[in-house]
Amino acid sequence: MFSNIRIVLVNTSLPANIGSAARALKTMGLRQLVLVDPKVFPSSEATALASGASDVLATAKVVATLEEAIADCPLVIGTSARSRTIPWPMLDAREAGELSRIESEKHPVAIVFGREDRGLTNEELHQCHYHVQIPSDNEYGVLNVAAAVQVIAYEVRMAHLLAEKGQAPTERTMPLAHAPWDEELVPAKEMEQFFSHFEAALIESGFLDPNNPRQMPTRVRRMFSRLRLDRLEYNLWRGIFSRMQAMAADITKLKKE
């Protein structure tokens, strides 16, 4: 039921939080834990806090970067405790659970949690299609990372249980309504290549000043992350970028002659 949903912890400092997160996953039926550059792992403290979920720790995947953790995921949801300068499409925990349920039936889904002291960086959040925010109390809204994992894992489980009972929501309140895609969605690794290609094409065409990009790359990334390209759309845009580069090269050549 949850084989396509992974929980990703980025640069976790305390082994106890890794163990507690593993326990949170297992109590809700999830098994996939990916650790991005943890400070200490493996650890006896993590194993102790995992209690009966040591098997989740034993199969946890350790990677060096977030890019590696989400490379094959067409849907990436990042947790964010605060709004950003350029806001991303937001989900609450219930919406994140339902969207994860729907899309995990077709492809891998990653839900990403940040560091204990400062969460995810802007650059890491920009690699996500949606941000999820747990509506905690305004007076004290600081959740331990393992507690945040427990909340989201619970919502993922409840979304599946309601669907099994035929009680899944008939309408989803998402930032962008859309019909089902008729082609496979492009995973995160290829979208990073897409953004690099787009930026190169803009620079070579003279449209983007690499020394003064302002917020254009971030806004372009947000736009395409919101659209979520399928394979045909991806190939179409990559062809457009290549044509832009060829035309820019031709113009440069003519100027030199």
All structural domains of the chain: 5-164 (3.40.1280.10), 188-256 (1.10.8.590)
What are the residues whose beta carbons fall under 8 Å from the beta carbon of 168, sequence distance 6 or more?
98, 101, 159, 162
Collapsing DSSP states into helix, strand and coil, what is residue 4?
coil
Structure token digits, residue 25? 């996953």
Task: Please report the pLDDT score of residue 61 as a whole number.
Answer: 98
- Outline where 66-204 has alpha helix (H): 66-70, 93-104, 122-125, 145-164, 188-204
The DSSP string of 25-91 is HHHTT--EEEEES-SS-S-HHHHHHHGGGHHHHHT-EEES-HHHHHTT-SEEEEE-SS--SSPPPEE
Identify residue 84 by its one-letter amino acid code.
R
Q: Please classify residue 203 by burial: count the beta carbons closer than 10 Å to its beta carbon, then call 0-12 exposed, 13-18 middle and 19+ buried.
A: middle
State the first-to-last Cα distance of the chain, in angstroms, to the nearest integer: 64
8 Å CB contact between 6 and 111 = yes
Give residue-wise pLDDT tens across range 29-52.
Answer: 999 999 999 999 999 999 999 999
- Please, what is the angle between helix 145-164 and helix 93-104, to 10°? 60
Task: Please report the pLDDT score of residue 178 as a whole number.
Answer: 46
Task: Please report the pLDDT score of residue 181 as a whole number.
Answer: 66
Task: Please report the pLDDT score of residue 183 as a whole number.
Answer: 83
**199 alpha carbon, distance to own chain's centre:** 21
Residues in the chain: 257
Give residue-wise pLDDT tens across range 46-60.
Answer: 999 999 999 999 999
CA distance 80 to 152: 12
Identify residue 228 by its one-letter amino acid code.
R
H or E segment and range at residue 235: helix 231-256
Locate tokens 């350790």: which residue?
62
Task: Please report the pLDDT score of residue 85 as a whole number.
Answer: 67
CA distance 25 to 140: 25
Low-confidence ranges of the chain (pLDDT < 50): 173-179
What are the residues whose beta carbons fall under 8 Å from the beta carbon of 172, sequence distance 6 or more?
95, 98, 99, 102
Task: Please report the pLDDT score of residue 127 as a whole number.
Answer: 94
Give residue-wise pLDDT tens across range 123-157.
Answer: 999 999 999 989 888 888 778 999 999 999 999 99
